[in-house]
Amino acid sequence: MSDCPNGDRQASIWNMDGPDDEFTFGEARRLPSPDPQGWVDGSPTSGRGQSCAICGSDEVAWVHPLARDLVAYREYGKGHTLPTFWALCDRCEGIYASGDVDAAVELMRSSDVWSSVPDEDVTECIRKPLEVFRRADLGARRLDD
Ligand SMILES: [Zn+2]
């Protein structure tokens, strides 16, 4: 006997908020950024001048753009941020893709970049950035040269 909207109808209005929130979140990650010339999505398209983030080789063949909202982490309670991408050589790309974290850590320890990290800091200063890299990785892209 009443024309008032019933409870079911109100519920369907509330449910419409969910997809809108997700859409906004997805868009926020694709904000335009001031990339240098020849860069796409915060990472270079050429390996020139880059070195492998794991072993330090300058024979890089792959680049992994990183999700900007996932690159921040804490090392011994101090804030750190990975760059907008990691470049990898062919060998390290294979090791990373295989999921062999221990092999990747070994290679990192033998490179000039990470060799100053003492044994007791390996978990905090090598494994952790490697985990953050894996978490933020947007996928491998083959470099042009
Ligand atoms: Zn490498």
Torsion sign, CA atoms 42, 45, 48, 54: positive
Tens of pLDDT along 56-110?
999 999 999 999 999 999 999 999 999 999 999 999 999 999 999 999 999 999 9
Q: What spacing in Å lies between the alpha carbon of 3 and ligand 1's midpoint? A: 70
Domain locations along the chain: 35-142
Q: What spacing in Å lies between the alpha carbon of 144 and ligand 1's midpoint? A: 17
- Alpha-carbon distance of 20 to 80, in angstroms, equals 32
Q: What spacing in Å lies between the alpha carbon of 5 and ligand 1's midpoint? A: 64
Q: What spacing in Å lies between the alpha carbon of 25 and ligand 1's midpoint? A: 34
Tens of pLDDT along 11-35?
444 444 444 444 444 444 445 567 8
- Alpha-carbon distance of 66 to 53, in angstroms, equals 13
